[in-house]
Amino acid sequence: MKRLFLSLSLFYAVNLSAQQADYPIKAVNFTAVKLSDNFWLPRIQVNHQVTIPASFARCENTGRVKNFEMAAAHSGKFCTKFTFDDTDIYKTIEGASFSMAVTPDKKMDRYVDSLIAIVAKAQEPDGYLYTARTIDPLHPPEWAGPERWVNEHSMSHELYNSGHLFEAASAHYLATGKRNFLDIALKNADLLVRTFGPGKRGVAPGHEVVEMGLVKLYRITGRKDYLALAKFFIDERGKRGYKKDSENEWQNGKYWQDDKPVTAQDEAEGHAVRAMYLYAAMADIAAIDGDTAYLAAIDRIWDNMTGKKIYVQGGIGAVPDGERFGEDYELPNATAYNETCAAIGNAFWNERMFLLHGDAKYIDLLEKVMYNGLISGLGLDGKSFFYTNAMEVRDDFKHGSLERSRSGWFECSCCPTNLVRFLPSVPGYMYAQEGKKVYVNLYINSTATLKVENSDVVIRQEHDYPWEGNILLKLDPVKATAFELRVRIPGWVNGEAIADGLYRFKDTKADAAVIAVNGKVQPYRVEKGYAVLNRMWKKGDVVSVSLPMRVKEVLADGRLVDDEGKVAIQRGPLVYCAEWKDNGGKVSNLFGLGDKWDVVMEKGMLNGVVVLRGEGKRVEVRDGVVDTREEKVTLIPYYSWANRGEGEMSVWFLEKVRGVSLR
DSSP string, 279-333: HHHHHHHHHHH--HHHHHHHHHHHHHHHHHS--TTS----BTTTTB--STT---S
Which one-letter DSSP state was computed for residue 47? I
On whether both 488 and 630 belong to a single domain, the answer is no
- The Cα-based distances of 361 to 346, 355, 499 in angstroms read 13, 12, 7
On whether both 565 and 600 belong to a single domain, the answer is yes
Which one-letter DSSP state was computed for residue 369? I
On whether both 90 and 218 belong to a single domain, the answer is yes
In the predicted model, what is the mean pLDDT of residues 136-142?
97
Residue-wise pLDDT for 630-640, tens only, equals 999 999 999 99
Residue 9's pLDDT band (cuts 50, 70, 90): very low
DSSP H/E element including 418: helix 414-422
| Residue that finishes a domain, picked among 504, 520, 546 | 546
Select which of 152, 269, 323, 553 is catalytic: 323
pLDDT of residue 537: 98
pLDDT of residue 626: 86
In the predicted model, what is the mean pLDDT of residues 68-72?
98
Decide which of 138 and 11 is more confident: 138
On whether both 496 and 449 belong to a single domain, the answer is yes
Residue-wise pLDDT for 272-287, tens only, equals 999 999 999 999 999 9
Whether residue 158 lies inside any domain: the answer is yes
On whether both 126 and 56 belong to a single domain, the answer is yes
On whether both 439 and 540 belong to a single domain, the answer is yes
Residue 2's pLDDT band (cuts 50, 70, 90): very low
Residue-wise pLDDT for 595-641, tens only, equals 999 999 999 999 999 999 999 999 988 888 888 999 999 999 999 99
Q: How many CB atoms lie within 10 A of CB 553?
A: 18
SS3 82: coil
pLDDT of residue 231: 98
Annotated catalytic residue 579: no
pLDDT of residue 662: 61
pLDDT reading at 56 higher than 80: yes
In the predicted model, what is the mean pLDDT of residues 540-553?
98
Largest CA distance in the chain: 78
Three-state SS string across 448-473, please? EEEEECCEEEEEEEECCCCCCCEEEE
pLDDT of residue 482: 96
Q: What angle do CA 106, 34, 528 make, to 5 degrees?
A: 135
In the predicted model, what is the mean pLDDT of residues 203-214?
98
On whether both 176 and 103 belong to a single domain, the answer is yes
In the predicted model, what is the mean pLDDT of residues 48-53?
98
Mean per-residue pLDDT over the chain, rounded: 95
- Spatial distance between the Cα atoms of 600 and 613, rounded to a whole number of angstroms: 8
**Concatenated DSSP letters of 578-603:** EEGGGTTT--TTEE---S-EEEEEET
**Concatenated DSSP letters of 181-243:** HHHHHHHHHHHHHHHBSTTSB----SS--HHHHHHHHHHHH--HHHHHHHHHHHHTTT-S---
Residue 12's pLDDT band (cuts 50, 70, 90): very low
Residue 20's pLDDT band (cuts 50, 70, 90): low
Whether residue 322 lies inside any domain: the answer is no
On whether both 534 and 582 belong to a single domain, the answer is no
Contact 341, 307 (CB under 8 A): no
On whether both 119 and 156 belong to a single domain, the answer is yes
Whether residue 617 lies inside any domain: the answer is yes
On whether both 520 and 586 belong to a single domain, the answer is no
pLDDT reading at 31 higher than 80: yes
Whether residue 408 lies inside any domain: the answer is no
pLDDT of residue 500: 87
Beta pairing partners, 452: 455
| Residue that finishes a domain, picked among 523, 546, 569 | 546
Residue 1's pLDDT band (cuts 50, 70, 90): very low
> pTM score > 0.85 for this model?
yes
pLDDT of residue 625: 85
Share of the chain above pLDDT 90, in %: 93
- Spatial distance between the Cα atoms of 625 and 329, rounded to a whole number of angstroms: 37
| Residue that finishes a domain, picked among 240, 259, 294 | 240
Which structural domain range is residue 498 located in? 431-546
- Spatial distance between the Cα atoms of 211 and 166, rounded to a whole number of angstroms: 10
Whether residue 538 lies inside any domain: the answer is yes
pLDDT of residue 663: 61
In the predicted model, what is the mean pLDDT of residues 575-582?
98
Whether residue 345 lies inside any domain: the answer is no
Select which of 59, 341, 414, 415 is catalytic: 414
pLDDT reading at 225 higher than 80: yes
Whether residue 440 lies inside any domain: the answer is yes
pLDDT of residue 636: 98
Contact 325, 272 (CB under 8 A): yes
Residues 6+ apart with CB under 8 A from 568: 312, 503, 553, 554, 556, 575, 576, 651, 652, 653
Annotated catalytic residue 323: yes
Q: How many CB atoms lie within 10 A of CB 479?
A: 11
Whether residue 160 lies inside any domain: the answer is yes
Q: Please count the residues of the chain.
A: 663
In the predicted model, what is the mean pLDDT of residues 66-73?
98
Structural domains of the chain, count:
3
Residue 5's pLDDT band (cuts 50, 70, 90): very low
Residue-wise pLDDT for 456-467, tens only, equals 999 999 999 999
SS3 431: strand
Distance from the Cα of residue 108 to its chain's centroid? 25
Residue 658 region by backbone torsions, left for phi larger than 0, else alpha for psi between -120 and 50, else beta:
alpha
Share of the chain above pLDDT 70, in %: 97
Exposure string for 302-326, b = 16+ CB within 10 A, e = fewer: bebbbbbbbbbbbbbbbbbebbbbb
- Spatial distance between the Cα atoms of 282 and 297, rounded to a whole number of angstroms: 9
Decide which of 453 and 491 is more confident: 491
Amino acid identity of residue 526, one-letter, is V
pLDDT reading at 6 higher than 90: no
Amino acid identity of residue 269, one-letter, is E
Residue-wise pLDDT for 318-375, tens only, equals 999 999 999 999 999 999 999 999 999 999 999 999 999 999 999 999 999 999 999 9
Task: Kindly report the CATH number assigned to the domain that includes residue 481.
Answer: 2.60.420
pLDDT of residue 248: 95
On whether both 162 and 101 belong to a single domain, the answer is yes
pLDDT reading at 16 higher than 50: no
On whether both 95 and 186 belong to a single domain, the answer is yes
Residue-wise pLDDT for 145-194, tens only, equals 999 999 999 999 999 999 999 999 999 999 999 999 999 999 999 999 99
Residues 6+ apart with CB under 8 A from 447: 33, 34, 36, 458, 459, 460, 461
